[in-house]
A and B are shown apart, each in its own frame.
Chain A
Amino acid sequence: DSGVTQTPKHLITATGQRVTLRCSPRSGDLSVYWYQQSLDQGLQFLIQYYNGEERAKGNILERFSAQQFPDLHSELNLSSLELGDSALYFCASSVGQGRDGELFFGEGSRLTVL
């Protein structure tokens, strides 16, 4: 158990809908990361927050947004969903800003868009 909690574990929805994925980092970790794992793209970095502020951005679509709250949990919002958004979405956390540290990954939220 990495200590990173993600909810929901599974989510099935329809195209055009909006969903929110939630992540609670390990106790004491200030950074939260979101990654997307799909069959065609592999594991892709989406975005990182450090202590409530956006720290780094990857290939995150404009339809996607994220935030980190004062209690350090994070939410990833996915809107106007398309079939291609079906993927496993991982949250990870680290103590610092992550340049040289290991990331602790949650079990992922599997999103299926029908």
Chain B
Amino acid sequence: AQKVTQAQTEISVVEKEDVTLDCVYETRDTTYYLFWYKQPPSGELVFLIRRNSFDEQNEISGRYSWNFQKSTSSFNFTITASQVVDSAVYFCALSEARNQGGKLIFGQGTELSVKP
């Protein structure tokens, strides 16, 4: 079965703290893709990153970093030195290559609140 679990429903931090958002996935496929999307208060979904199942290299983009570990089926997202503008709901998503098309399975989302 394909499933994405974001166990943290809400996280609240103070500005400049580091925060990690957890994502655990389930899939039977050997080829799949993982994504993180951000949904700010304005409502749109903003693409942050895509990772394929054959590339376990961690990625860093500015204050954002992602840790992909196939051994634990996890794809965690860390924001370093958080800022108020990072306040949003963050979604982890899975796409299986065997799917006919680009169906994304989303987790329930983690609402991050960064307080000044």
Contacts and interface: CB of A to CB of B under 8 A. Distances in A.
A48 B44 contact: no
Contacts of B52: 100
A56 B103 contact: yes
Given A90-B45, A108-B43, A99 B102 contact: yes
Interface residues of A, number: 30
Contacts of B101: 31, 48, 50, 55-56, 97-99
Interface in A57-100: 58, 88, 90, 92, 94, 97-100
B115 to A, nearest CB: 24
B106 A97 contact: no
Nearest to B45: A105
A45 B103 contact: yes
B77 interface: no
Contacts of B33: 99-100
B25 interface: no
30 contacts: A2-B44, A31-B102, A35-B104, A42-B109, A43-B91, A43-B104, A43-B109, A45-B105, A55-B100, A55-B102, A56-B99, A56-B101, A58-B103, A88-B43, A92-B45, A94-B102, A97-B102, A98-B95, A99-B101, A99-B102, A100-B52, A101-B50, A101-B102, A102-B35, A102-B50, A103-B104, A104-B47, A105-B45, A107-B42, A108-B44
